[in-house]
Amino acid sequence: MNEMIDATDVRILQILIRDAKRSNKEIGEEVHLTGQAVGARVRKLQDLGVIEGYTVKWNPDRLGLGLKAFVTVFLNSGDKHAAFRAFVAGREDIVEVHRVSGEGCYLMRVQTGTTEQLGELLEALLPLGNYRVSLSIGVEKSSS
Amino acid sequence: MNEMIDATDVRILQILIRDAKRSNKEIGEEVHLTGQAVGARVRKLQDLGVIEGYTVKWNPDRLGLGLKAFVTVFLNSGDKHAAFRAFVAGREDIVEVHRVSGEGCYLMRVQTGTTEQLGELLEALLPLGNYRVSLSIGVEKSSS
DNA sequence: GGTGAAAACTAGTCGGC
DNA sequence: GCCGACTAGTTTTCACC
């Protein structure tokens, strides 16, 4: 059950990352396999935890969520970590949170509709610590 | 052809973000519609550009790409932007690049296998400008 | 581990409401 | 704008190599 991942598996994964709607048969033609062989490998990748799930790439701008920002968080004290995690779990506008070493304690990716909403988020964050905001004014590259 | 997006469309989108492999029929049961009505709405969302494509969520750790970092880039001079864009376009380990206001010129999300590879990336970046690295040591939240 | 053929399910298209 | 029936394509499961 502990199988290795060969180059073909990686190729299949890369194809699926680019477009998960491709059929197994179509992928099979590209990697010189039949559709059901590709299906078996995809299932293996899922069982191994390499593939965690399937999602859609969506455009936040078209839904009035055009504001993207990176917020570096500096917590006031060490006992604020639990409160911070509860805070981010309850907010839909916080898309991604990383515990980081370097600048600050956490770095989170935020997605809101207006600057007012971003301001409200930052204000709610203040009791926990300080922050530094980098507002995205253009995406050069995204999820290669 | 210029249609509005109602609450049902958003619900369908949220379901697809969580799991794009759900069938239209299954989604229809959740939003009280038939499968083909869901399919029509999904097609509408694609035509409107809200849904840009389908991808897989994959686990970099399982492929020996466990190092995640955020690099804030401070370009040396204004004429380095073109060179920087060419630089990031050619590197697979740079996953995401944002033009930002605030700290630095660009903020990019990097994904490498080892610290040596990260060091090599940063060294290659040096001719273009300075940088500040925040190494991710744990993901609290990811792509809600 | 991969291939081949049959079964179950799915999405897309048609007319009708 | 949505529903029901039909068709085409897909994934899945089986035995076999």
Exposure class string for B83-96: b at 16+ Cβ within 10 A, else e: ebeebbeebebbbb
For residue B1, what pLDDT is reported? Answer: 42
Query: What is A60-135's CATH number, 3.40.190.10, 3.40.50.12780, 3.30.70.920, 3.40.47.10?
Result: 3.30.70.920
Residues of B in contact with A58 (CB under 8 A): 13, 17, 50-52
- pLDDT tens-digit map of B30-65: 999 999 999 999 999 999 999 999 999 999 999 989
Query: Any CB–CB contact under 8 A between B59 and chain A?
Result: yes
Report, as an integer, the average pLDDT of A77-87.
95
- A38 CA to C4 C1' in angstroms comes to 15
Domain with CATH 1.10.10.10 in chain A: 2-47
User: What is the rounded average pLDDT for all residues in chain A?
Assistant: 93
Q: Using CA of residue A73, residue A79, residue A80, residue A81, what is the dihedral sign?
A: positive
Q: Range with the lowest mean pLDDT among A79-83, A86-90, A140-144, B97-101?
A: A140-144
CA of B66 to C1' of D4 (A): 51
Q: Is the Cβ atom of A136 within 7 Å of strand D at any atom?
A: no
Pairing relationship of beta strands A129-141 and B51-58 according to DSSP bridges = unpaired
C-beta atoms of B102 and A51 within 8 A: no
> A94 burial class (0-12, 13-18, 19+ CB within 10 angstroms)?
buried
B106 CB neighbours in chain A (<8 A) are: 140
Determine whether A31 is exposed, middle or buried from the number of CB atoms within 10 Å of its CB (0-12, 13-18, 19+): middle
Does residue B33 reach within 7 angstroms of strand D, measured from its CB?
Answer: yes
Domain with CATH 3.30.70.920 in chain B: 60-135
Chain B residues near residue A16 by CB distance under 8 angstroms:
55-56
**A104 contacts B134? CB cut-off 8 A:** yes
Q: Taking 90 as the threshold, does the pLDDT of residue B143 lie above it?
A: no
Query: How many CB pairs (< 8 A) connect A and B?
Result: 196
Question: What integer pLDDT is reported at residue A1 of this predicted model?
Answer: 43
> Is A103 in contact with B53 (Cβ distance < 8 A)?
no
Alpha helices in chain B (DSSP H): 7-18, 24-31, 35-47, 81-89, 115-125
In Å, what is the separation between the CA of A22 and the C1' of C10? 15
| B111-130 average pLDDT score | 96
- Give the separation between CA A127 and CA B68, rounded to whole angstroms: 28
Q: pLDDT tens across A38-47, in order? A: 999 999 999 9
pLDDT score at A39: 94
Measured distance CA(A47)–CA(A44) in Å, rounded: 5
Query: Which residues between 68 and 87 in chain A have a beta carbon less than 8 angstroms from any beta carbon of chain B?
Result: 68, 70, 72, 85
**Whether domain B2-47 has CATH 3.40.190.10:** no
Mean pLDDT calculated for residue range B22-33: 94
Q: Which of A67-71, A94-98, B2-6, B128-132 shows the lowest mean pLDDT across its residues?
A: B2-6
Cβ contacts of B96 within 8 Å, gap of 6 or more? A139, A141, A142, A143, B108, B109
Would you tell me how many other CB atoms lie within 10 Å of the CB of residue A79? 8
Percent of chain A at pLDDT exceeding 70: 97
- pLDDT band for B4, please (50, 70, 90 cuts): confident
Residue A4's pLDDT band, with cuts at 50, 70 and 90, is: confident
Return d(Cα B69, Cα B110) in angstroms, integer.
Answer: 5
Amino acid at B97: V
Q: Read off the pTM.
A: 0.89
Region A38-66: mean pLDDT is 94
pLDDT over threshold 70, residue A2: no
Beta bridge partners of A130: A74
Q: Which residues of B14-28 are buried (b: 16+ CB within 10 A; e: fewer)?
A: ebbbeebebebeebb
Which helix (H) or strand (E) is A123 found in, with range? Answer: helix A115-125
Instruction: Label residue A142 by pLDDT band (50, 70, 90).
Output: confident
